[in-house]
Structure 1
Amino acid sequence: MTVAGPYLTRLPDALPPSFHLLAKPTGSTCNLACDYCFFLEKERLYPGARQRMSDA
């Protein structure tokens, strides 16, 4: 008996391997503006400063 049973489906060999990327800010000065960001409350540590990456 196999654990996977009928639930596993073999993908064709012609498909390229998938690739995933996660962009993670290293501090509160970020320009991603995610709704779930836990760094936003720390922006008060940088009053009046706009230390953000340029979009260029």
Structure 2
Amino acid sequence: MARLSRAEVFAPDEIAIVHVMNRVVRRCFLLGTDSVTGKNYDHRKVWIEQLLQQFAAQL
């Protein structure tokens, strides 16, 4: 069974709190410390926060 599209899950006028995964394609880490390499990716939090603020301003 296919996953529902976001348009079917969230109403356009609805404000939602959603869970964001901390891994992306091929299990690469987006935020936090990668337990395999030990590399820390917390510097990306500022970048993501700025993007979210830009998107929210367009609503």
User: Shorter-chain TM-score: what band?
Assistant: under 0.3
Structure showing greater relative contact order (alpha-carbon pairs closer than 8 Å, 6 or more residues apart): 1
TM-score by length of 2: 0.19
TM-score by length of 1: 0.19
